[in-house]
Structure 1
C-alpha cells in the first residue's frame, strides 16, 4: 500500500504521536519508518486523498506535534511513496542531506510576510517623480486620439511601478534579514509585491514580529503587512 509521509526527524526525536491521527476518513493510524540515523512519520495513504480542510489540519497537527519536541523536516501535503521500504531506502540514500537540513532548522520557525501597497498611492508617487510620465499624461489627456502616446504612457508607468516595487521589496528584506537565520523569496501574488519567508530562532520570534510591526508603522496606511506564523519551515527544507 502507498505510504503517506508527514515529516522526517533524526533518530533521537521523541516522536510523541499519542492522541493524534493522520489523513483520511477514517483517519489513518500513524507509524514510523526508521533507519539508523533518521525517522519518517508516515501512515497509509488514502486512495482518494484531496486537499480537504480535515486532511490539511491532520497533516499540520502531526508536524506541529513533532516540531514542539525538536527539529523536523515538514513534507508538503500529499507526498506519497510506493511503500515503507521505499521510504526507508530514500532516508538512507539522502541521510547526509536530511541531517544537514535538520541542523539548519533546529530551534527555528518559519514566518511568511506578504506586503501590498495601495495602488493609487503608488501611482501618485510615480506621477510626481517622473517628468516623462507627466508629459505623456498631459499629451494623452489633451489629445484622446494619441494612440502611440497612450501605449508609451502605459508602458512607462508599468516599468516605474515594477521598479519601485522591486526596490521596496529589496529594502524590506534587507531590513528584516538581520533578525532571521535565513530568507526565502517566493513569487509575488496578484495583490502583494513582496512574498518572503524568514527562518527565525524560536527565542527571537517575538523580536522578529516586533521588527515587522515597526516596519509597518513606519510605512504608514498605504502599506498592508500580512505576517503569518509561526509555521513549519516548509520553505527551508
Structure 2
C-alpha cells in the first residue's frame, strides 16, 4: 500500500510502560516537525502486557518516506532539528516511565500500522523494559589533541638543510602522535576498569568524525555504558578521571540518558527495511 505524500505518516519515538502521568506530560508538547505527541496503546492482555504504549507524532510523508528522508540525511541542519526534537520527547517520556528509545526516523505508514508492530512485539518490548528498569545510559568519549603540521622553521639549525629539518620535525611529530595514542589506549583501559565496577552492559560505537567532532580533536573512543541509576554519579566521577596524568588526551563523560544504545531495535520483519519497497517503516539513522 502506498501512502500519499500529502498524508501524514506516524513517527515513533519510544516504547514505554504506561504511567498515569504520561498522557498529561505530553499534552501541549510538540515533537518532530512541530507535531503534537500522542500515545498508541495495544492491550496485549493475552501476554499480560497491557501497559505497553508507543509514543508517536503525525509527520509529513514527503519528508519521512524513503526518497524525502534520503534527501534530508544530507542536510545536517535538518538532521540536528529532528534529533533534538526526538531526544526531547524521549527524555520527557523516560522521566516519567521506563522507556525504550527507537532509532531516529522510525516511521510507520499510519497509527494502525504502528499498532500492529506494537502488538507483534509486545512481549519482546516488555522483556526489554524489565531488563532496563532503573538503568540509564552514560557516554564516554576520548579525544586526542590535534597536532600542528611540521615546518622546517620548527627546528632551527644552521647545520642541517631545510629538507632535513622538515624530516626531523616529521619524525618527532610521528613519535608524539604515537605517544598520545598510547595514552588514549591507557585511558580506554581505565574506563574499562570503571565499567567493570559499575556498569551492567557496554556498547561500542564508531568514533565520530567531521562536523560531529568540530574542533574537539580526534575522537578515538566512543562507547556507551548501561549503569544502574543509583551508581550513575559514581560512574561519572570515576570515568572522568581516566585521563588524569595522560598528556594530549581529553575524556568526556555525558549523561545520564535514556538507554538509546541498549533498546532492542524493531525487527525488520515487523516492518520493511530500506530496500524491500514496502511502506510500513522507514529506518533512519542509528542510535
* TM-score (normalizing by structure 1): 0.73
- Residues 165-211 of structure 1: CA deviation (Å, up to 9, x unaligned): 78436513421212222111111235122111111222222111110
Matched, 1:35 2:49: no
RMSD of Structure 2 on Structure 1 (CA): 3.2
SS in 2 for 1:2: strand
Matched, 1:219 2:245: yes
Q: Is the 8 A contact 1:13 1:70 kept in 2?
A: no
Q: Is the 8 A contact 1:111 1:227 kept in 2?
A: yes
Sort the Cα spacing of 1:39 and 1:59 in 2 relative to 1 into closer, same or farther, 3 A.
same
5+ residue gaps, structure 1:
121-140, 145-149
Q: Is the 8 A contact 1:184 1:197 kept in 2?
A: yes
Q: Is the 8 A contact 2:10 2:107 kept in 1?
A: yes
5+ residue gaps, structure 2:
1-7, 44-48, 65-71, 73-77, 148-163, 210-217, 264-287
Separation (CA, whole Å) in 1 of partners of 2:42 and 2:142: 42
Give aligned pairs, total: 206
SS in 2 for 1:45: strand
Separation (CA, whole Å) in 2 of partners of 1:206 and 1:40: 30
Question: Where in structure 2 are the equivalents of 1:154-193 lying within 5 Å?
Answer: 164=182, 167-168=185-186, 171-177=189-195, 178-190=197-209, 191-193=218-220
- Residues 89-108 of structure 1: CA deviation (Å, up to 9, x unaligned): 11121122211221222122
Shift in Å, 1:119? 6.1
Residue in structure 2 matched with residue 199 of structure 1 by the alignment:
226
Shift in Å, 1:52? 5.2
Q: Is the 8 A contact 1:70 1:106 kept in 2?
A: no
